[in-house]
Structure 1
Amino acid sequence: MPNYILISALACVAIVLADRFFRQLNSRHADEPIIIPPKIHLFGHLLQVLQYKGLYYKELRDTHKLPINTLSVFGSRNYVVNSVKIAGAVQKARRSFVSQPFQIMFATNVAGTSKHGRARLQQMLESGDRKDDGGLFRALRTGMAPGSGLDELNRTTLPKMADVVALLKPGDKLYTEANLWRWLRDHVSMAIMDSYYGKNNPFKDPKVKDAFWSYEDHVPSYMFLPQFVAPRAYRQQKIVVDAFEQYLRRNDQQYASSTVRNYCDVQKTYDFSFRDNGGFHATLAIGLLTNIAPCVFWMTVNIFSREDALREIREELTNHLTDITEDGETTKRTQTIQLTKLMTESPVLMSTYRETMRLYSFGASVRTVTEDTMLLDQYFLRKGSMVTIPASSAHTDPDIWGPDVNEFNYRRFIDTKVPGAANRAFGGGSSLCPGRHYATSQTLAIAALMVLQYDIKPTNGDEWPTPSAKKTKSVSVVMAPDRQVVFQVQSRPHDESEVQNLQISDAKGISSVDKLFT
């Protein structure tokens, strides 16, 4: 029979020793940012971040009013930056603050990378060759940057998005009822995967698609022994990675976009197994699919719930419509709107998009401190610690945005100029999201298609939903709705709008969106 008294005594001794050890680690340098103690000793901050995500950082900022603070979890330091000025200084000091270690840890854990694959990635990192370090992902960044790769992706995706939005047409019925959040997630994700991975996209198999959303739902657990913490999600991960592995073994990437083909070509040069490469593609899918649909959802909610916004944006977009001609004769059944006009000549639509990203995005840029650093001659940051720059702090700072900082103002960005570092919807500095140009193009296109063709409202007079951090995955940048709401989607009367079939055209020559966020 176990000696429970002895076991309990040993456990108590271990806890006391661990407490003393972590207290020694937490001895504070005189110029180090103030340490905020957790409500639960040792791991309280970790629990709060898992529950409230980026909004926990905002809560701490509002409570303690610190431009930068220190959170301690099991003795390790996490410096949380709330000041735009300090965030800008971190971004400029690229040698002292690097994002690669965290990116590699996240990618390998979520991808289920083998020991050989992890060692290879670590070798690339420790070589000190930044070009080699980023070579694996350079093809993705290049393919998603303004140029031929982005033009191809937009040209392929936009017709698919038009077809997706057309599925909402009620036909002979008065209106269609749809769980808009789930509907957008499922259909938009398939259009994106088809555009990137081609006709043999692994998500064609419903089993793989369903497994992906279960797998994605538990991403935080992959940082801590997932086979024990979330065994079902661990099995779902295997289904998704298996599917991508078989996709690569069959050479199905030959039917994919040039961005994916080039990425696969680069993977071959790094001596990774098919299995490891399949895991990297599963991780890429998370980045591609988890943010466009929620952003479109919140744009839709905030436009259709505000009569002034809906009217102004419709007028703005209607002025851009061009009739498509057939054999020299104009037809009113199909019209087109240029993507470039959505991005450069639609100030109210673009302001609404930027306000959506400001108020509903709460991602964070994470970096590792490579050397003891005195930042701005004021703050001492220790080597080996982590620096977190949460978007929620910059996006809700009343000194930057004014007294209505927590309200949705769809016209906020028409004349407002703010510091570039205050716009952190896509991260900042070396950790800028490579898919930001594609995401912006597709989000604006889908929103325009819906505004011009439909009237949308909650069913049975239900209230419009509000965002919730609790229902949002830690991996997502944009918050999810707090509850599922069924919407009535009704086609606009033809005497009000002659747009029966709408297309987005001119999917080329898209310039950088970075200037739109500065």
Structure 2
Amino acid sequence: MPSAIILFVAGIAASYVFLHTLAFFSQDPREPKAIAGNIPVISPLVGMLYEKGGYYIRMRDRHNLPIYTLRVPGPPLYVVNSLSLVQRIDRHIMTVSFSPIQVRACDKAMAVGDSGMKKIAGEKRLAEDGYLRSFPRATAPATAPGPGLDALNRAAVRNFAKSFDQLAAQGQTTIKLFHWVRHELFAATMDATYGPSNPFRHAKNEEEWFAYESGIMPLLMDFMPPMWDFGCNTNWIA
């Protein structure tokens, strides 16, 4: 009888061949080029879990592709690195639908109940007959070039100017550049969007948001129990 070591090695080899086949032979010719890592399907999951946003930066620098496919359990992920492609995608919001991603976020990462999901995504949760499909039609005109977008930009610029004045008043100082830029962009955007009632003016809320945002990908991938199964209790300040 074959030894346990031989069976183990054979199992590893068979698994690798299966994952490689799953990653590449299921690729539609119309899809962007697939990249797999050392272990197809598994490597992207590990990278996204441990490196988070840094994983995409590493893949961008390694492969230098404007757009590529990541084969993971479930639907594939298309990662866009080219600014020109991002702009083209943004112009076709009703053709390139983000509704399925939003539906998955509501279901897996936001703990929306069954009745809420039916209103958001429709009875079949396909996002075709629910609230999400109509959302771009309502929001796109408000953020199109014109008075509405100008007002948002002015509000964000005022926020930046106030922050820069406060920093200049401190004289020579040292900052953590990444965290400072992240905070300023976030604060200006949220203030322009929410106005005086912006909940992220409370530092605790901003801190909790970035803690949540950094772990949202594993929740969306659905290979870990939802966060509420761990008994997590995040308290936001109203």
Is the TM value for this pair above 0.5?
yes
Shift of 1:71: 4.6
- Partner of residue 438, structure 1: none
- Partner of residue 227, structure 1: 227
**For 1:37-81, what per-residue CA distance to the aligned partner results, in whole angstroms no more than 9, with x for missing partners?**
54235412222344343234435635xxx8987653347655678
Counterpart among 185, 190, 195 of residue 192 in structure 2: 195
Q: Structure 2 vs 1, CA of residues 199 and 140 (structure 1 numbering), >3 Å: closer, same or farther?
A: same
Shift of 1:166: 0.5
**For 1:470-497, what per-residue CA distance to the aligned partner results, in whole angstroms no more than 9, with x for missing partners?**
xxxxxxxxxxxxxxxxxxxxxxxxxxxx
- Partner of residue 114, structure 2: 115
- Structure 2 matches for 1:361-380, cutoff 5 A? none
**Structure 1: where are the runs of 5+ without partners?**
1-11, 248-518
Shift of 1:88: 11
| 3-state secondary structure, aligned to 2:156 | helix
| 3-state secondary structure, aligned to 1:168 | helix
Q: Structure 2 vs 1, CA of residues 117 and 35 (structure 1 numbering), >3 Å: closer, same or farther?
A: same
Q: Distance in 2 between matches of 1:137 and 1:165?
A: 34
Residue type of the alignment partner of 1:227: M
Q: Distance in 1 between matches of 2:66 and 2:109?
A: 32
Shift of 1:165: 0.9
Is 1:218 aligned to residue 220 of structure 2? Answer: no
**Structure 2: where are the runs of 5+ without partners?**
1-7
Q: CA RMSD in A?
A: 4.7
| 3-state secondary structure, aligned to 1:177 | coil
Structure with more contact order per residue of length (Cα contacts < 8 Å, sep ≥ 6): 1
- Structure 2 matches for 1:337-356, cutoff 5 A? none
Larger Rg: 1
Do the aligned partners of 1:49 and 1:56 also contact (CA within 8 Å) in 2? no
Q: Distance in 2 between matches of 1:120 and 1:43?
A: 35
TM-score by length of 1: 0.33
Q: Structure 2 vs 1, CA of residues 122 and 161 (structure 1 numbering), >3 Å: closer, same or farther?
A: same
Residue type of the alignment partner of 1:61: H
- Structure 2 matches for 1:65-464, cutoff 5 A? 71-74=70-73, 77=76, 98-123=97-122, 126=126, 128=128, 133-170=132-169, 175-223=172-220, 224=222, 225-227=225-227, 234-236=232-234, 239-240=235-236
Counterpart among 46, 53, 56 of residue 54 in structure 1: 56
Q: Distance in 2 between matches of 1:150 and 1:89?
A: 19
Q: Distance in 2 between matches of 1:38 and 1:152?
A: 45
| 3-state secondary structure, aligned to 2:71 | strand
Residue type of the alignment partner of 1:109: K
Identical aligned residues as a percent: 24
- Which has the larger share of helix? 2
Q: Distance in 2 between matches of 1:91 and 1:206?
A: 31
Do the aligned partners of 1:68 and 1:80 also contact (CA within 8 Å) in 2? yes
Q: Distance in 2 between matches of 1:180 and 1:94?
A: 34
Aligned residues: 217
Shift of 1:197: 1.9
TM-score by length of 2: 0.62
- Bigger mean CA offset, 184-193 vs 147-156: 184-193
Shift of 1:101: 1.3
Q: Distance in 2 between matches of 1:94 and 1:178?
A: 38
| 3-state secondary structure, aligned to 2:174 | strand
Q: Distance in 2 between matches of 1:201 and 1:30?
A: 44
Do the aligned partners of 2:67 and 2:79 also contact (CA within 8 Å) in 1? yes
Residue type of the alignment partner of 1:122: A
Q: Distance in 2 between matches of 1:31 and 1:128?
A: 24
Residue type of the alignment partner of 1:47: V
**For 1:361-403, what per-residue CA distance to the aligned partner results, in whole angstroms no more than 9, with x for missing partners?**
xxxxxxxxxxxxxxxxxxxxxxxxxxxxxxxxxxxxxxxxxxx
Residue type of the alignment partner of 1:189: F
Shift of 1:135: 1.9
Q: Distance in 1 between matches of 2:129 and 2:184?
A: 41
Q: Structure 2 vs 1, CA of residues 60 and 95 (structure 1 numbering), >3 Å: closer, same or farther?
A: farther
**For 1:452-508, what per-residue CA distance to the aligned partner results, in whole angstroms no more than 9, with x for missing partners?**
xxxxxxxxxxxxxxxxxxxxxxxxxxxxxxxxxxxxxxxxxxxxxxxxxxxxxxxxx
| 3-state secondary structure, aligned to 1:186 | helix
- Which has the larger share of strand? 1
Q: Structure 2 vs 1, CA of residues 142 and 21 (structure 1 numbering), >3 Å: closer, same or farther?
A: same
| 3-state secondary structure, aligned to 1:73 | coil
